[in-house]
C-alpha cells in the first residue's frame, strides 16, 4: 500500500524527498449523519495510513474510557472530534480539517457534519473540495440526508462523488444488499444530474476496504477507498482557457515599479499578452509576469496559470486598482448588475428581499439586494417552492441586483469569478454563500447588450446585401 511507509525514508531520504516534491493535492469532504460512522471512517483512514502518532493514540485510549461510544475497543472517532463541548454532546458540529498523505498525493479532508441543521457547514466544506465521499449506512440505504448531501455536493460544483456504503459488517458483507443500494442511488443521482458516482462497500469499524482490500468482500473487485483516493484522475477543475485575474493588491514599493497582484482565477497569461481591465475597458500589454519569489533573478517567468498567486506589470501607465479584473482582450467576460444566483443562507436572521447587503465577489465588495426569490429548494425532497424569505440552512434561486456592474462567469464555468459571500452591513457577519447562474436578461436597468437602432438594422441589411464580400454578420445574430 502506498502510504507513508516508503522504504526510501530509511534507506535514502534524499531520493524520497525528490520523489515527494511532485505530489498532487486532493481536497475532499466526507458527509454522513451522526450514526453513519463518518468520524470512525476518517479515524480509520488516518490510523491505517499510519498518520496517528503513539501519544495521540494513548490520549484516545484515555478518552475512550470517558467519552467513548464503542465500549471496549479504541474509539477512533475520538481522534477527529475536536472541541470539548461537542465531544460531551457526542456529535461533531463544525467543519474540521484533517490531513494525510501518500506517496502520490496530499489529502485535505473537510469533515462536515450530517445533522439536518448544519447545511451551512457542509456547504462551507464543499466549497473547496474536489471530491465528495457520501456515507450510506448499509442497513438503511439511501436516506433523506443522502439526498441532501448529494444535492449540496452537486450545487457546490463537486464533480467526483464517491458513495461509501458503510457498516457492511452489519449486513454480513452482502453483495446483494450493496447492489440494491447502488441501484437505489443511481436512480436518484440521475435526477440530480450526478454523473458516474463511484460505489464502494466498506466497514470503517473493522477496516474492511478502507485502506486494505477486504477479505470478507472478495466479490468486490474495485480498489479500496484509499487506493481510489490515490488514483482517481483529478478531472481538471481548473479552467485554463479563460484568463481572469481579480486584482487584489497594487504593489508600489517605488516610482519605477507598479505591480498588480492577485490569484489567477482561471486561464494562463504570458508576457506580451494584450489585456483589458474591467470595468474601465482600458487596455495594455503585459510587461512582466512575476511568480512568488524572494530574489530578482527568480521573479520573472514567461507564463503563469491558475491558481498561481502572481504579480503583473504593464507596458502602459494605466489606472488599475483592487476590485478590477484583468482579462485578455480577445476574451472578455460578460458584464451585468442583475444576476440570477443560487443562495445558501447561513445566518439565524432570515434573508429579507430588498434589504441591502454587502456582496463580496473575489476582490469586489458591492452593495446589493435580492429583489426576488424565484424558488426555494427543499434539500430533502428537492422540490421547488415559492417563498418570501430565506431561513438559516435554506437554499434558493434568487435575483440579485447590484449597485455596480461586475464582470462575471457562471459558477459552473469558473468558481473564482462566479462565487460570492453575503455580509451583513452592520454586524459584519457572513450571512450566505452565493453562486452565479447567469445574467438576468431584460430586467437590467443598464443592460450590457448593445441595442441597434432601426437605422443600423436597415444599414446592416443593406451592407449584407450589397457587400457580401465583407462577410458581415446580421445584427440579429449578435
Partner 1 sequence: MEQLFLKNDFAHLSHVLLVNIHIKCDILRTNFQMLSRQNQGGYMEISKKKLTHLKRLEAESIHIMREVVAEFDNPAMLYSVGKDSSVMLHLAQKAFFPAPPPFPLVHVDTTWKFKEMIEFRNRRAKEVGMELLVHINQEGVAQNVSPFTHGSAMHTDIMKTQGLRQALNKYQYDAVFGGARRDEEKSRAKERIYSFRDKNHRWDPKNQRPELWDTYNGRHQKGESIRIFPLSNWTELDIWQYIYLENISIPDLYFAKERPVVEYGGTKIMVDDERMPEALRKTAKMEKVRFRTLGCYPLTGAVSSNAETLPEIIQEMLLTKVSERQGRLIDHDESGSMEKKKIEGYF
Residue from 253, 302, 442, 468 binding partner 1 (CB under 8 A) = 253
Residue 445 vs 450, nearer CB to partner 1: 450
Residue from 419, 436, 437, 439 binding partner 1 (CB under 8 A) = 419
Residue 207 vs 434, nearer CB to partner 1: 434
Q: How far is the CB of 360 from partner 1 (least distance, A)?
A: 6
Q: Considering only residues 207-236, where is the footprint of partner 1 by CB under 8 A?
A: 236
Residue from 177, 244, 361, 376 binding partner 1 (CB under 8 A) = 361
- Give the separation between CA 74 and CA 180, rounded to whole angstroms: 32
Residue from 214, 416, 437, 440 binding partner 1 (CB under 8 A) = 416
Residue from 19, 174, 179, 268 binding partner 1 (CB under 8 A) = 268
Q: How far is the CB of 319 from partner 1 (least distance, A)?
A: 17
Residue 36 vs 239, nearer CB to partner 1: 239
Residue 256 vs 386, nearer CB to partner 1: 256
Q: How far is the CB of 220 from partner 1 (least distance, A)?
A: 30
Q: Considering only residues 124-163, where is the footprint of partner 1 by CB under 8 A?
A: 124, 127-128
CB-based contact 170:36 (threshold 8 Å): no
List Cα–Cα distances, 248 to 19, 129, 267, 368, 398, in angstroms.
34, 23, 17, 21, 28
According to the binding rule CB under 8 A, does residue 420 interact with partner 1? yes
Site map (CB under 8 A) of partner 1, residues 445-464, x = contact = ----------xx--xx-xx-
According to the binding rule CB under 8 A, does residue 368 interact with partner 1? no
Kindly tell me the number of DSSP H helices and DSSP E strands found in the chain: 13, 23
- Give the separation between CA 36 and CA 18, rounded to whole angstroms: 39
Binding segment for partner 1 (CB under 8 A), chosen from 32-40, 57-65, 135-143, 440-448, is: 57-65
According to the binding rule CB under 8 A, does residue 362 interact with partner 1? yes
- Give the separation between CA 237 and CA 28, rounded to whole angstroms: 13
Cell representation of residue 182: 447502488
- Give the separation between CA 151 and CA 144, rounded to whole angstroms: 11
Residue 99 vs 219, nearer CB to partner 1: 99
| Main-chain phi, psi angles of 358, to 5 degrees | -95, 130
According to the binding rule CB under 8 A, does residue 55 interact with partner 1? yes
Q: How far is the CB of 102 from partner 1 (least distance, A)?
A: 11
Residue 97 vs 140, nearer CB to partner 1: 97
According to the binding rule CB under 8 A, does residue 241 interact with partner 1? yes
- Give the separation between CA 85 and CA 64, rounded to whole angstroms: 16
Beta strands in 84-196 (DSSP E): 96-101, 105-111, 131-137, 160-166
- Give the separation between CA 53 and CA 444, rounded to whole angstroms: 58
- Give the separation between CA 476 and CA 316, rounded to whole angstroms: 37
* For helices 175-192 and 144-155, angle between their N-to-C axes, nearest 10 degrees: 50
Question: How many residues bind partner 1, per CB under 8 A?
Answer: 103
Q: Considering only residues 62-121, where is the footprint of partner 1 by CB under 8 A?
A: 62-63, 79-85, 87, 94-99, 101, 105-106, 108, 111, 120-121
Peptide bond just before 307 cis, omega within 30 deg: yes
Binding segment for partner 1 (CB under 8 A), chosen from 47-55, 206-214, 372-380, 439-447, is: 47-55
- Give the separation between CA 106 and CA 100, rounded to whole angstroms: 6
What is the torsional sign of CA 377, 383, 388, 389? Answer: negative
Residue 65 vs 190, nearer CB to partner 1: 65
| Main-chain phi, psi angles of 66, to 5 degrees | -85, -50
- Give the separation between CA 446 and CA 441, rounded to whole angstroms: 11
Residue from 187, 274, 309, 443 binding partner 1 (CB under 8 A) = 309
Binding segment for partner 1 (CB under 8 A), chosen from 168-176, 270-278, 279-287, 418-426, is: 418-426
Torsion of CA 148, 151, 155, 160, to 10 degrees: 110
Q: Considering only residues 9-38, where is the footprint of partner 1 by CB under 8 A?
A: 9-10, 13-14, 16-17, 20-25
- The residue among 188, 179, 174, 175 whose CA lies nearest residue 142 is 188
- The residue among 172, 158, 205 whose CA lies nearest residue 41 is 205
Amino acid at each position: 500500500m502506498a502510504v507513508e511507509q516508503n522504504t526510501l525514508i530509511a534507506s535514502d531520504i534524499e531520493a524520497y524527498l525528490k520523489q515527494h516534491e511532485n505530489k498532487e493535492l486532493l481536497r475532499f469532504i466526507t458527509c454522513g449523519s451522526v450514526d453513519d460512522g463518518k468520524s470512525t471512517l476518517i479515524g480509520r483512514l488516518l490510523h491505517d495510513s499510519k498518520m496517528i502518532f503513539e501519544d495521540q493514540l494513548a490520549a484516545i485510549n484515555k478518552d475512550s474510557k470517558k467519552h467513548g461510544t464503542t465500549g471496549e475497543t479504541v474509539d477512533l472517532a475520538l481522534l477527529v472530534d475536536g472541541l470539548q463541548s461537542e465531544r460531551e454532546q457526542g456529535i461533531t458540529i463544525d467543519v474540521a480539517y484533517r490531513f494525510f498523505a501518500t506517496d502520490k498525493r496530499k489529502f485535505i479532508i473537510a469533515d462536515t457534519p450530517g445533522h439536518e441543521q448544519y447545511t451551512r457547514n457542509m456547504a462551507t466544506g464543499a466549497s473547496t473540495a474536489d471530491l465528495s465521499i457520501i456515507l450510506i449506512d448499509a442497513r438503511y440505504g439511501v436516506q433523506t440526508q443522502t439526498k441532501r448531501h448529494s444535492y449540496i455536493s452537486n450545487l457546490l460544483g463537486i464533480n467526483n462523488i464517491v458513495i461509501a456504503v458503510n457498516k457492511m459488517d452489519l449486513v454480513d458483507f452482502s453483495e446483494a444488499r450493496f447492489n440494491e443500494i447502488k441501484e437505489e442511488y443511481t436512480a436518484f443521482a440521475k435526477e440530480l444530474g450526478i454523473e458516474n458516482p463511484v460505489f464502494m462497500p466498506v466497514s470503517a469499524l473493522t477496516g474492511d476496504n478502507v485502506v486494505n482490500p477486504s477479505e470478507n468482500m472478495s466479490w468486490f473487485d474495485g480498489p479500496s477507498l484509499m487506493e481510489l483516493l490515490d488514483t482517481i484522475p483529478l478531472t481538471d477543475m481548473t479552467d485554463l482557457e479563460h484568463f481572469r485575474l481579480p486584482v487584489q493588491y497594487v504593489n508600489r514599493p517605488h516610482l519605477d515599479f507598479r505591480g498588480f497582484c492577485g490569484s489567477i482565477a482561471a486561464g494562463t497569461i504570458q508576457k506580451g499578452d494584450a489585456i483589458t481591465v474591467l470595468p474601465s475597458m482600458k487596455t495594455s500589454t503585459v510587461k512582466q509576469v512575476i511568480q512568488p519569489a524572494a530574489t530578482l533573478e527568480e521573479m520573472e517567468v514567461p507564463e503563469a496559470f491558475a491558481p498561481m498567486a502572481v504579480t503583473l506589470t504593464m507596458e502602459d501607465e494605466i489606472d488599475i486598482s483592487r476590485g478590477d479584473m484583468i482579462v485578455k482582450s480577445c476574451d472578455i467576460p460578460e458584464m451585468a448588475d442583475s444576476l440570477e444566483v443560487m443562495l445558501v443562507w447561513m445566518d439565524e436572521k432570515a434573508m429579507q428581499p430588498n434589504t441591502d447587503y454587502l456582496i463580496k465577489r473575489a476582490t469586489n465588495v458591492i452593495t446589493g439586494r435580492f429583489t426576488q426569490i424565484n424558488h426555494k429548494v427543499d434539500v430533502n425532497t428537492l422540490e421547488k417552492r415559492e417563498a418570501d424569505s430565506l431561513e438559516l440552512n435554506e437554499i434558493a434561486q434568487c435575483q440579485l441586483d447590484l449597485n455596480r456592474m461586475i464582470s462575471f462567469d457562471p459558477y459552473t464555468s469558473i468558481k473564482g469569478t462566479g462565487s460570492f459571500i453575503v455580509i451583513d452591513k452592520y454586524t459584519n457577519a457572513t450571512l450566505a454563500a452565493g453562486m452565479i447562474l447567469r445574467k438576468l436578461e431584460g430586467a437590467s436597468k443598464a443592460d450590457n447588450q448593445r441595442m441597434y437602432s432601426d437605422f443600423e438594422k436597415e444599414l446592416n441589411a443593406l451592407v449584407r446585401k450589397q457587400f457580401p464580400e465583407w462577410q458581415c454578420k446580421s445584427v440579429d445574430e449578435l
